[in-house]
Structure 1
Amino acid sequence: MPLPDFLQISYRPELDLLVGRWQRIVSEGELYASYPALLEEAVARGCRYWLLDARRRLNIEVAITPWLLNDFVPRLGQHLGGRAYLAYLVAPVQLTDAVPADKQIPPLVYFEGRAALMQRFTDEATALAWLQEQRASGGDN
């Protein structure tokens, strides 16, 4: 699959970390295209730890949340051979204004025991530390 121009995907072998950075505000269709591209690269690398930088994107997955939660996320474990860990890097306004007000985006406890654990951060160092904690604890948190 050709890499979309609105999404930069890289792999950091020293951390065994997939990094996806949206380069601009994207359309709903571009959001749908983003996740399979990320998954394809993760499968190729055998990588279950993802840092997803959505700060430039600004729009939250509200429109695609049902697809993300009910279709995409459940397939991650099958494709990656275990639970995936997705650290979303967001702008502070995304965390304080949009996310709590949107009832389609479940609380983070929703992801406990599921094929992926997702967490939101406003600081990249904190997001990376969380991903390293998940790895150090055996990835079962």
Structure 2
Amino acid sequence: MQPLPTQQSGAFTLAYLPDQHILIGRWLRPVLLHELQVHYRELLAAALAHDHCRHWLLDVRRRRINDTEAVHWFGQDFSPQLPQLLGQPVVVAYFAMVGQDVATTDPALWENIRQGSLHGAAYCYFDQESTAMSWLAEQP
């Protein structure tokens, strides 16, 4: 695993698994929208720097995943540009806490998942990191 530099290492870490061609982003604490935007831009920059890596494991256990503004920004501004920038749709496994799955019932999150799938992207939530990694390995 290759750790990658980030602007806010106390809030977000980033690593690349070259043998599996997977980027791993981990939030270490709750973040504000502007911080989240910086982190996703760092993730995209790392993806572009690593041969357009489009398989991502995002550990969201320590941050809110149903923040309305963040969900809107991700779904409307950030994720629609990914297929063009990466050359293929992105595949994202979200590693969330067992109790955090309640947040995934948010209609805005499901709309992002639906919109992403229209463009070939795949977003899926898991409560076990090993299951998330297995799922990523199975994706084209």
Which of the residues 12, 15, 19 maps onto 1:14? Answer: 19
Name the amino acid aligned to 1:76. Answer: L
Give yes or no for contact 1:16–1:49 (8 Å, CA) kept in 2: yes
Cα deviation, residue 113, structure 1: 3.1
Q: Is the 8 A contact 1:58 1:91 kept in 2?
A: no
**Pairing partner for 1:88 from 53, 71, 94:** 94
**In 2: Cα distance, 1:41 partner to 1:56 partner:** 22
1:122 Cα deviation (Å)?
0.6
Post-superposition offset of 1:110: 4.3
**Structure 2 residue aligned with 1:51, among 46, 49, 57?**
57
What is the rounded CA distance, in whole Å, between the counterparts of 1:122 and 1:63 in structure 2? 24
Count of residue pairs brought into register by the alignment? 133
**In the alignment, what sits opposite 2:126?**
121
Q: Give the Å deviation of 1:111.
A: 2.9
- Amino acid across the alignment from 1:80: L
How far the C-alpha of 1:12 sits from its partner, in A, is: 0.5
Counterpart CA distance in 1 for 2:67 and 2:86 is: 22
Shift of 1:126: 0.6
Match 2:34 to one of 23, 29, 34: 29
TM-score, with structure 1 as normaliser: 0.85
Paired position in structure 2 for 1:67: 73
Aligned Cα RMSD in Å?
1.8
String of CA shifts for 1:44-81, please: whole Å, max 9, x gaps: 00211000001122443432212211221111111111
Q: 1:61 to 1:131 in 2, by over 3 A?
A: farther
Equivalent position amino acid for 2:118 in 1: G
Q: Percent identity?
A: 35
Which runs of 5 or more residues in structure 2 are unaligned? none
- C-alpha separation between the residues in 2 aligned to 1:29 and 1:53? 18
Structure-2-length-normalised TM-score: 0.85
Equivalent position SS for 1:38:
helix
Query: Secondary structure at the residue paired with 1:104?
Result: helix
2: CA distance between counterparts of 1:59 and 1:111?
Answer: 17
Give the AA of the match of 2:107: K
